[in-house]
Amino acid sequence: MPEPVPNFSNSVKLKYVKLGYQYLVNNFLTFLIVPIMAALIIQVLKLGPEEILSIWNSLHFDLLQILCSSFLIVFIATVYFMSKPRSIYLVDYSCYKAPVTCRVPFSTFMEHSRLILKDNPKSVEFQMRILERSGLGEETCLPPAIHYIPPTPTMETARNEAEVVIFSAIDDLMQKTGLKPKDIDILIVNCSLFSPTPSLSAMVVNKYKLRSNIKSYNLSGMGCSAGLISIDLARDLLQVVPNSCALVVSTEIITPNYYQGSERAMLLPNCLFRMGGAAILLSNKRKDSRRAKYRLMHVVRTHKGADDKAFKCVFQQEDPQGKVGINLSKDLMVIAGEALKSNITTIGPLVLPASEQLLFLFTLIGRKIFNPKWKAYIPDFKQAFEHFCIHAGGRAVIDELQKNLQLSAEHVEASRMTLHKFGNTSSSSLWYEMSYIEAKGRMKKGDRIWQIAFGSGFKCNSAVWKCNRTIKTPTDGPWDDCIDRYPVFIPEIVKL
């Protein structure tokens, strides 16, 4: 008996249909142009040598026409290259690695909490529940002043922390890149909650004896997304200052901002925020294009500060006892979701392939015209990026973005492991995540990286990078002594 014909309809999976659709739409121009070019070449080959020569002889070239045409071509080319934005390269970066003496295991953190809040056991229990579900590990670090019982935050200890974190990161960057102080044309330092006088940027100028004509900026009060704001500012400056280098330093100084009260909404940052900092070298020099790790493609910034709830969802204030801390609103995740929605609406057309943009457009038209209850189509950003660096603000932030963007566990691995190893290092967390991907040997030439950060105000900022060369697995950096242990399993609740 002949073998029964297999039912191919059952074997064809929807994902393969979608892959075919994506291939067809994304390569539509290729499919259109190749047959036309092939037909033209065939027609030319059919002509004999005499016919081709007669056609050539029939053409009449006037010297004036040739000169005018040449001038027009040169003029258009000049205008194009003059108006084209300069390429901004990320030469290299460095992340601060705190010494083991600054580590705060769960047992140490809770013991200190019980001693400091001995009159308020409910607040101690609250911190324990947060820590159990935080996604942090046993190796996160706090500055020396916070290890005292009670903590002793002073201006001197805060400056000491700033000097150790910032100078260590810059020293390491200079060693890796061969950068000299006189080569720095632009300096940008961002630190949200510690803004002394003289500024942190002035402190860097003084330490490294930078040039007197350096363009120096100090950004404060802009939250965990300030790192990408600094990148955006550096990009704008490098567009108008040719042949220049920009040094960007992102950090958050914990010492003066450790809350010592008992308000639950203000105790939350104590459980999540830890020491960290990063120094980044950007350049618009052509000679740096070969050695640079990445090229900056896009920066998209979204600000929801016009809305009162968004403005106050991360708010520095005094509690009833007059102790200053950061109040995190219960509406934070909802507001972050709205900010992300606005941000990806802007960045989508810049990065998504045509197939995803068409699906999104058709769904939008269908909901407007036919049925408003149709499920909104979420673009597949995995088609646009190979790597995702989501701000390690907390487990809930990473979970929400993984769900909304339909990302796999591997896509958010760098964010989860950074939160586990270093905690929430504020604006510098994105660079620890980038370093994790490099340490795993996953960063290849042509790979695209999406950095997403959230900050007070409320802001959602994105930066898109393209890998300039395949990155060799580094032998140094913040992950050098532990990368073989990662990824680790992080339980939903760690019983303390």
Q: Which residues are catalytic?
A: 224, 303, 387, 391, 420, 424
CB of 417 closer than 8 Å to CB of 436: yes
Strand ranges (DSSP E) for 284-386? 294-303, 314-318, 324-328
- Residues recorded for the chain: 496
Instruction: Give kind and range of the element (H or E) at residue 356.
Output: helix 354-369
Q: Which residues contact 205 (CB under 8 A, 6 or more apart)?
A: 187, 214, 216
CA dihedral 462, 231, 444, 135 (to 10 degrees): -60
Dihedral over Cα of 260, 265, 270, 273: its sign? negative
Residue 472 has phi, psi (to 5 degrees) of: -70, 145
> What is the longest distance spanned by two Cα atoms in the chain?
103
Residue 205 has phi, psi (to 5 degrees) of: -60, -45
Instruction: Give kind and range of the element (H or E) at residue 462.
Output: strand 459-467
Q: Which residues contact 404 (CB under 8 A, 6 or more apart)?
A: 337, 340, 378
CA dihedral 45, 49, 52, 55 (to 10 degrees): -160
Q: Which residues contact 270 (CB under 8 A, 6 or more apart)?
A: 127, 258, 259
